[in-house]
A = this chain, B = another copy of it.
Amino acid sequence: MAEIRTGDTRERILDAGERLFMAHGYEGTSMRQITSEAGVNLAAVNYHFGSKEALMQEAFRRRLDWLNEERMRVLDLMEAEADGKPLKPSQIVDGFFGTLLRMAGDEKRGGVTFLRLLGRTLTEPSEFIRAFLAHEYKEVMDRYKEALFRALPDVPKAEIVWRFHFMLGATSYAIAGTDALRLVTDWQIEDEDSTDRLDRLVPRLMSFLLGGLRAPLPQFSDTTAASN
B-binding residues in A (CB < 8 A):
22-25, 27-28, 119-120, 122-126, 130-131, 133-134, 137-138, 141, 145, 158-159, 161-163, 165-174, 176-177, 180-181, 183-187, 189-192, 196, 199-201, 203-222, 224, 226-227
Contacts and interface: CB of A to CB of B under 8 A. Distances in A.
B212 A215 contact: yes
Given A25-B25, A123-B123, A172-B173, 8 more contacts: A134-B184, A137-B186, A166-B205, A166-B208, A168-B181, A192-B226, A206-B218, A207-B215
B215 A211 contact: yes
Contact of A191 (B177, B205, B226): B226
A54 B190 CA distance: 34
Interface centre among A158, A161, A166 (most CB of B within 10 A): A166
Contacts of A169: 169-174, 177
Given A123-B123, A169-B169, A183 B218 contact: no
Nearest to A158: B189
Contact of A216 (B168, B189, B207, B219): B207
A211 B210 CA distance: 8
B200 A208 contact: no
A109 B224 CA distance: 29
